[in-house]
Amino acid sequence: MSDQIRLKKGLDLPISGAALAEVTARVTPDLVAVKPTDFRGMVPRLLVKEGDSVMAGTPLFADKKNPGMVFCSPVSGTVDAVVRGDKRKLLAVRIKADGRGEAVRFDVPKIASLDKEGMTELLLRSGLWPCLKQRPFGTVADPAAEPKAIFISGMNTAPLGPDPEFALKDDFAALQAGVDALGKLTRGGVHLSLAARSFAGGELHKLTGVVFHQFEGPHPAGNVGVQINHISPINKGEVVWTVDLHLVAVIGRFFLKGVYDTRRIITVAGPAAVKPSYVEVPAGVCMSSLASYFEQGNVRVVSGDVLSGEAVGRDGFLGFYHNQVSVLQEGDYYEMFGWINPFRSKKFSVSRAYPAFLRRKKYDMDTNENGGERPFLMNDVYNKVLPMDIYPLYLFKACLAGDPDKMEQLGIYEVIEEDVALCEYVCPSKVEIQNIIRGGIELMMKEM
Amino acid sequence: MAKNFFDKIRPTFSEGGKLSWLHSSFDAFETFFFVPNRVTRKGGTHVKDCVDLKRLLIIVVLAMVPALLFGIWNLGEQHSIVFGLGWGFWQKVWYGFVKIIPLYLISYIVGLGIEFASAQMKGHEVSEGYLVSGFIIPLIVPVDVPWWMLAIAVAFAVIIGKEVFGGTGMNIWNPALLARAFLFFSYPSKMSGDSIWVGGLSKALAGGTPWKGGEVVDALSGATPLSHASLDGLSAAGTSAWNLFLGNIPGAVGETSVIAILIGALILICTGVASWKIMCSSVLGALFVGWLGTVGGVTDIPCWEQLLMGGFAFGTVFMATDPVTSAQTETGKWIYGFLIGALCITVRLFNPGYPEGMMLAILLMNTFAPLIDHYVVSANINRRLKRAKTV
């Protein structure tokens, strides 16, 4: 079918608190939020006001540039608050759920009967379009664009992330419907990358109408950006779309049941998680619904993984694209002679300057920076964790210099923040590399 | 206890405190004792590797300790031989110790003083880069260098070599080598010749009292084997390859003992702090030109003996591998290292007036490292462009 791509560079973070393969709760939330900030490149226009009652699938806001693209409520209830930040920037629409689970019913035609325009129109109208992300830059897909292909990562290598085979084990019918629907949107095919063990015999391998690719290697081998770089790298002027596997199931459910159903099985895990396991939640669920999984004390609750997720706090909300919650102790302590200690057995380092490479154990990682910020000094640490044909240090420096030509030449189209997150993790100078890439991407979007 | 002390004096150095302008210095000392309580920021990775620059640089310093310890003993040994003193082990060590301590004091006080002052002026944190440079400088200068000269050289290296470019991480040339080059070109009489590499010898030759009425045994034995060999071949220099390997010969403090340097190289390679590619390719480059030299009849010295002589080993292991001034790309490192080795031996073979080519070879390649990287990165860019055309 397809050859196996073996990646050597990268790092599987030995962080403690991995989730047990067990669904311990199916959360019916009290509060959810849809955050426009989850969707890059989108300028929201509000469609509801506080006090309005909504159902699952009722549009809350639309994109000013694409009025047809709507973003919907994942549950039924009333609009509790419209949260705004500086300059009245719309940060979130909060919905108080009524628990009745009422949903807008869509009249769904057969997938086979739809053409590209019909499919696009239906996905836009139903609020499912934002499931599609676009590379370069990781924006919400542009409905007018002609994508080279659609890529889905069927493997998850992110630290503490859910195993797709387990989390989606009841959703294979939905996944099949989802990939069939996506197949209508591109002539380049739907490409699904699987880990070696999901191949041949795995449930995901039974899907039809997709092009399979097999990947092996440490994180970030499961990042769709890395996979694209090896399957069919993005060149200037090209556009590809990506969809997270759990959102393919959401699209599929829409075609099976005719409702906007964003429920997903996520992991709640990490060193500060109580009973780390799998939980079923809708998109945008409030972390307070998961409070029993968090340890007391000064704990950081991250929507997403510990490398590229967003710290949202105990009262924050799960991001639209996220399928895991990571819980960590805040590391606001002083450590005497930490860097002189020859062993430092409680901390992990990928560098052999510490003997951590001799230990096979998981570490209770926390959020301590483990050092002060310095200029770039070491030059060979970054490419060891970025399995792409890119010179990371030069790309970072081009972003810092704000030079769009250089950024383009050095590969800015091929990465988003999550792809360089490990570079930030290993950086001995503690440089905020994801912020640098974010700055570069924002500059490029302004220039184009 | 130390924690309480820092907590108590922190307000004085914080914003609004009496000594807030000394904030960078306070910070430097505090972070020396304690890994700070800073947590990762939002919008980045939430966990970070526990390695930091302090750790990496202290490993480089550790790797140089064997060379330093051997050098201290060797100072006494050479002095004892030349003046016919017949000292015991501890007398030699003590002599070397007394000789080297002032050099370290000068190197660190002047160098770190400037680093602290400039960090203070810019409001930055003090960077640890000078820990390594300051450790190298006394190891590569003649032990009898006048203290004021050393101070000026260090100041030159730190200010002109580093701070004007924006500090640690931005410099083009290796600061330690720059200090040595400054001394070499500004005060050539103190930096070359036969007598400078043995403690007390140049003073004695200049007519001072040699040593308790003793006579200088053999004035010429002060010359490094390298300068001898470059003229007459190794055996004429009265030393064997084994001595070169061991290091009990006259020379700069840190550079004589190849075996001590190899221990350091092992530490650096095992910990992955320095690039084995640069070390490896530098050796290959030296062997290649050394071999060409013997084939072409320029020299009688077998190419492998070139590796043992002079500052080649020290330069290859500790200075060519400086991550800031070396080539930054992996392919570039092979080219960069090879050219350093090749240039070093080329200088040795064709410039009998100044046989030590390592310093100039490294400084020259420091200058060209960005050019090498430019071509390596351009190849990557072209690959990307070509890909766009073929699809």
Instruction: Quick: pLDDT tens for B171-195.
Output: 999 999 999 999 988 888 777 666 6
| Mean pLDDT for chain A overall | 92
Q: Is residue A448 exposed (0-12), middle (13-18) or buried (19+ Cβ within 10 Å)?
A: exposed
ipTM (interface pTM): 0.89
Outline where A211-323 has alpha helix (H): 224-231, 245-257
What is the Cα–Cα distance from B211 to B217, expressed in whole angstroms?
11
The two structure tokens encoding residue A392? 């990371």
What is the distance, to the nearest Å, from the Cα of residue A160 to the centroid of all Cα atoms in its chain?
Answer: 13
Q: Are the C-beta atoms of residues A189 and A213 closer than 8 Å to each other?
A: no
Percent of chain B with pLDDT over 90: 47
Do the Cβ atoms of B270 and A310 come within 8 Å? no
B59: chain A residues, CB-CB within 8 Å: 353
Which pLDDT value is given to residue B309? Answer: 84
Do the Cβ atoms of A348 and B54 come within 8 Å? no
Packing angle of the helix pair B358-390, B175-186 (nearest 10 deg):
140
Q: Are the C-beta atoms of residues A309 and A317 closer than 8 Å to each other?
A: no
Residue A61 has pLDDT above 60, yes or no: yes
Which pLDDT value is given to residue B239? Answer: 66
**Residue in B closest to A376 by C-alpha:** B169
Averaged pLDDT, B287-314: 88
Q: pLDDT digits over A305-323, tens only?
A: 999 999 999 999 999 999 9
How would you write A39-91 as a 3-class SS string?
CCCCCEEECCCCCCEECECCEEEEECCCCCCEEECCCCEEEEEEEECHHHCEE
The position carrying tokens 């506080």 is A50
| Mean pLDDT for chain B overall | 84
Higher pLDDT, B57 or B39: B57
Nearest to A410 among B58, B381, B387 (CB): B381
> How far B275 CA sits from the closest chain A CA (Å)?
8
Do the Cβ atoms of B43 and A374 come within 8 Å? no
Q: pLDDT digits over A149-159, tens only?
A: 999 999 999 99
Residue B358 has pLDDT above 70, yes or no: yes
What's the N-to-C CA distance of chain B in angstroms?
A: 66
The position carrying tokens 């994801």 is A434
Q: Are the C-beta atoms of residues A177 and A252 closer than 8 Å to each other?
A: yes
Does domain A29-97 correspond to CATH entry 2.40.50.100?
Answer: yes
Q: pLDDT digits over B201-232, tens only?
A: 766 666 544 443 334 444 344 456 565 555 54
* Window from A248-252, B120-124, B292-296, B305-309 with minimum mean pLDDT: B120-124
**Residue in A closest to B34 by C-alpha:** A336
Residue B30 has pLDDT above 60, yes or no: yes
For an interface test with A, which of B3, B39, B46, B118 has the most A Cβ atoms less than 10 Å from its Cβ? B46
A409: chain B residues, CB-CB within 8 Å: 381, 384-385
Do the Cβ atoms of B58 and A339 come within 8 Å? yes
Percent of chain A with pLDDT over 70: 100
Which pLDDT value is given to residue B353? Answer: 67
Averaged pLDDT, B359-377: 94
B44: chain A residues, CB-CB within 8 Å: 424, 432-435
B270: chain A residues, CB-CB within 8 Å: 352
B91 at interface of A, judged by CB pairs closer than 8 A: no
Amino acid at site A277 = S
Nearest to B46 among A309, A354, A380 (CB): A309
Averaged pLDDT, B266-282: 94
Do the Cβ atoms of A300 and B270 come within 8 Å? no
Do the Cβ atoms of A353 and B271 come within 8 Å? yes
Residue A200 has pLDDT above 80, yes or no: no
Cα–Cα separations (whole angstroms), residue A337 to A23, A184, A290, A354, B375: 43, 60, 37, 14, 42
Averaged pLDDT, A12-27: 93
Query: Cα angle vertex A96, ends A94, A100, to 5°?
Result: 135
For an interface test with B, which of A13, A324, A344, A351 has the most B Cβ atoms less than 10 Å from its Cβ? A351
Which pLDDT value is given to residue A179? Answer: 95
What is the Cα–Cα distance from A133 to A210, expressed in whole angstroms?
18
Query: Cα angle vertex A259, ends A258, A265, to 5°?
Result: 120
Nearest to B273 among A13, A15, A353 (CB): A353
What is the Cα–Cα distance from A318 to A34, expressed in whole angstroms?
9
What is the Cα–Cα distance from B138 to B140, expressed in whole angstroms?
6
Which pLDDT value is given to residue A12? Answer: 94
What is the Cα–Cα distance from A416 to A242, expressed in whole angstroms?
12
B27: chain A residues, CB-CB within 8 Å: 372
Nearest to B56 among A309, A347, A378 (CB): A378
Nearest to A370 among B52, B125, B324 (CB): B52
Do the Cβ atoms of A378 and B270 come within 8 Å? no
Do the Cβ atoms of B391 and A238 come within 8 Å? yes
Q: pLDDT digits over B301-355, tens only?
A: 888 888 888 889 999 999 999 999 999 999 999 999 999 999 999 988 887 666 6
Which pLDDT value is given to residue B220? Answer: 40
> How far B264 CA sits from the closest chain A CA (Å)?
14
> Which residues neighbour B26 within 8 Å (Cβ) at sequence distance 6 or greater?
B9, B10, B13, B19
The two structure tokens encoding residue B54? 């302090």
Residue among B81, B64, B89, B70 nearest B245 (CA): B70
Helix (H, G, I), strand (E, B) or coil at B285: helix
Q: Are the C-beta atoms of residues A154 and A164 closer than 8 Å to each other?
A: yes
The two structure tokens encoding residue B206? 């200049």
Which pLDDT value is given to residue B214? Answer: 38
Structural domain spans, chain A: 4-12+108-257, 29-97, 369-447
What is the Cα–Cα distance from B39 to B53, expressed in whole angstroms?
17
Check residue A304 and give left, alpha or beta (phi > 0: left; psi -120 to 50: alpha): left
Q: What is the dotted CATH code of the domain comprising A4-12+108-257?
A: 3.40.50
Q: Judged by CB atoms within 8 Å, which residues 49-78 of B form the interface with A?
A: 49-56, 58-59
Instruction: Annotate A199-234 with DSSP letters as a single string.
Output: TTTSGGGG--SSEEEEEESSTTTTSHHHHHHHHS--
Q: Are the C-beta atoms of residues B166 and B218 closer than 8 Å to each other?
A: no
Averaged pLDDT, B66-95: 91
b or e along B32-45 (b: 16 or more beta carbons within 10 Å of the residue's beta carbon)? ebbbbebbbeeebb
Indicate the helix (H) or strand (E) that contains A4.
strand A4-6
The two structure tokens encoding residue A185? 């949107």
B275 at interface of A, judged by CB pairs closer than 8 A: yes
b or e along A135-154 (b: 16 or more beta carbons within 10 Å of the residue's beta carbon)? bbbbbbbbbeeebbbbbbbb
> Which residues neighbour A299 within 8 Å (Cβ) at sequence distance 6 or greater?
A272, A314, A327, A328, A329, A330
Nearest to A351 among B43, B169, B272 (CB): B272
Q: pLDDT digits over A102-146, tens only?
A: 999 998 999 999 999 999 999 999 999 999 999 999 999 999 999
Q: Is residue A81 exposed (0-12), middle (13-18) or buried (19+ Cβ within 10 Å)?
A: middle
Averaged pLDDT, B357-369: 93
Which pLDDT value is given to residue B215? Answer: 42
Do the Cβ atoms of B49 and A370 come within 8 Å? yes
B5 at interface of A, judged by CB pairs closer than 8 A: no
What is the Cα–Cα distance from A112 to A22, expressed in whole angstroms?
36
* Window from A162-176, A347-361, B35-49, B271-285 with minimum mean pLDDT: B35-49
Q: Is residue B1 exposed (0-12), middle (13-18) or buried (19+ Cβ within 10 Å)?
A: exposed
The pairing of beta strand A90-97 with beta strand A31-34: antiparallel
Which pLDDT value is given to residue B206? Answer: 61
Cα–Cα separations (whole angstroms), residue A2 to A201, A230, A231, A411: 15, 12, 10, 26
pTM of the model: 0.90
Averaged pLDDT, A260-273: 95
